[in-house]
Amino acid sequence: MEMLNSKFFTIKTHIEGAPQESMFEIKTQTLPPLGPNDVLVKCLYVSIDPYQINRMKSQSSSQNSVAAASKITPGMTITCGGLGRVVASNHPDYQKNDIVHGIINWAEYTIVKTENMLRKLDTLEFPLSYHVGILGTSGFTAFGGFFKICKPKKEDKVFVSAAAGSVGNLVGQYAKLFGCFVVGCAGTKQKVELLKEKLGFDDAFNYKEERDLKSTLQRYFPHGIDIYFDNVGGEMLEAAVANMNAFGRIAACGVISDYTNSGKHTALSMVDVIYKRIMIQGFLLTDFSINDYNDFMSKTMDYIRARKLCVLEDISCGIESSPSAFVGLFRGDNVGKKIVQIAKE
């Protein structure tokens, strides 16, 4: 194979606070020859995810959790979930032109050392980008987090934060389809309208316009909250705990309000947690089983076919847009799943 150049992004230095576009730089590398079992993938879609900020810090406990969340040092390629087309393969399971998803890079091309990193797409029934969002890790996080961690019952009263985001919008939609009462919060008027008008949430509010989150939640949940799906942590988690019912369940999915502000710590009322017997469980999507995954895929594909789930995607075009797409997550720029399309299919 002829020599191939590939543009890729890296960080200039470790990022400790809020990320800015100027903290990233684009570089070009000449790809080395493929080793035994290597697969060369042309990147088509990459997933833009908040957790990556924890990988970019000089130190974070998340970096020791799973391989996919390991530390990124300046100069290194940034690995991420994504989807691409096989250009060349030394692995017997992958052929040229196969569409694959798994761990690739913020780059034009990725050489994948295939151990557990890649899967061939099972179906071409849906737009390819769906496999980075609703049928990818965001969808599985929402499905597993809601059904396995929150253990819902019909008519449970459910609160979701970052509800117009990638995971949050799906949690709310699954909860509605299951028969729960659902309220979401988001950071703009337009997102709040979307949740109520298009996604079928029972109600929604703009948390940035509220002064006292405890009384806000009391207003939206006069009979208390049974399930809180927490994407943000901080004051919202404190306010939710104050409004939880006895034996309420909180799925601690993400703490985006802490990611860029490590000095900030959530001050939970542990007296509430104990006397109301609240279960708070952190989880990672890697905790769920292959049976959970198959259940998630079959139910979610059926819902999409029946148009019962609305697919919210927010796609930027071109590798150059990756830093602004990422930085935008922390400003609430995205509506639904943030994806960068690196190349046309």
Ligand X SMILES: NC(=O)c1ccc[n+]([C@@H]2O[C@H](COP(=O)([O-])OP(=O)(O)OC[C@H]3O[C@@H](n4cnc5c(N)ncnc54)[C@H](OP(=O)(O)O)[C@@H]3O)[C@@H](O)[C@H]2O)c1
Considering the rule CB under 6 A, would residue 52 count as an interface residue with ligand X?
no
CA distance 127 to 120: 15
Looking at residue 328, what DSSP letter applies? H
Listed ranges 38-46, 113-121, 283-291, 305-313: which one lies at the site for ligand X (CB under 6 A): 283-291
Pick one of 16, 26, 31, 51: the residue that binds ligand X (CB under 6 A): 51
Q: What angle do CA 78, 80, 81 make, to 5 degrees?
A: 165
Listed ranges 8-16, 43-51, 75-83, 108-116: which one lies at the site for ligand X (CB under 6 A): 43-51
Considering the rule CB under 6 A, would residue 49 count as an interface residue with ligand X?
yes
Considering the rule CB under 6 A, would residue 183 count as an interface residue with ligand X?
no
Considering the rule CB under 6 A, would residue 232 count as an interface residue with ligand X?
yes
CA distance 13 to 319: 20
What is the separation, in whole angstroms, between the first and last Cα of the chain?
A: 21
Helix, strand, coil abundance in the chain, percent, nearest 5: 35, 30, 40
Considering the rule CB under 6 A, would residue 283 count as an interface residue with ligand X?
yes
Considering the rule CB under 6 A, would residue 241 count as an interface residue with ligand X?
no
Query: Nearest Cα to 49, choosing from 317, 344, 314?
Result: 314
Considering the rule CB under 6 A, would residue 254 count as an interface residue with ligand X?
yes
What b-and-e string marks burial along 46-82, b requiring 16 or more CB atoms within 10 Å of the CB? bbbbbbbbbbbbeebebbeeeebbebbeeeebbbbbb
Pick one of 231, 243, 316, 322: the residue that binds ligand X (CB under 6 A): 231
| Range 134-163, binding ligand X (CB under 6 A) | 138, 141, 162
Which CB, 51 or 293, lies closer to ligand X? 51
Considering the rule CB under 6 A, would residue 37 count as an interface residue with ligand X?
no
Listed ranges 9-17, 92-100, 182-190, 270-278: which one lies at the site for ligand X (CB under 6 A): 182-190
Pick one of 86, 278, 329, 339: the residue that binds ligand X (CB under 6 A): 329
For residue 9, count CB atoms less than 10 angstroms from its CB and return exposed for 0-12, middle for 13-18, buried for 19 or more. Answer: buried
Query: With CB under 6 A, what is the number of residues at the site for ligand X?
Result: 29
For residue 124, count CB atoms less than 10 angstroms from its CB and return exposed for 0-12, middle for 13-18, buried for 19 or more. Answer: exposed
Pick one of 62, 216, 334, 341: the residue that binds ligand X (CB under 6 A): 334
* Residue 221 identity (one-letter amino acid): F
Q: Which residues bind ligand X (CB under 6 A)?
A: 49-51, 138, 141, 162, 164-168, 186-188, 191, 231-232, 253-254, 256-257, 283-285, 329-330, 332, 334, 338
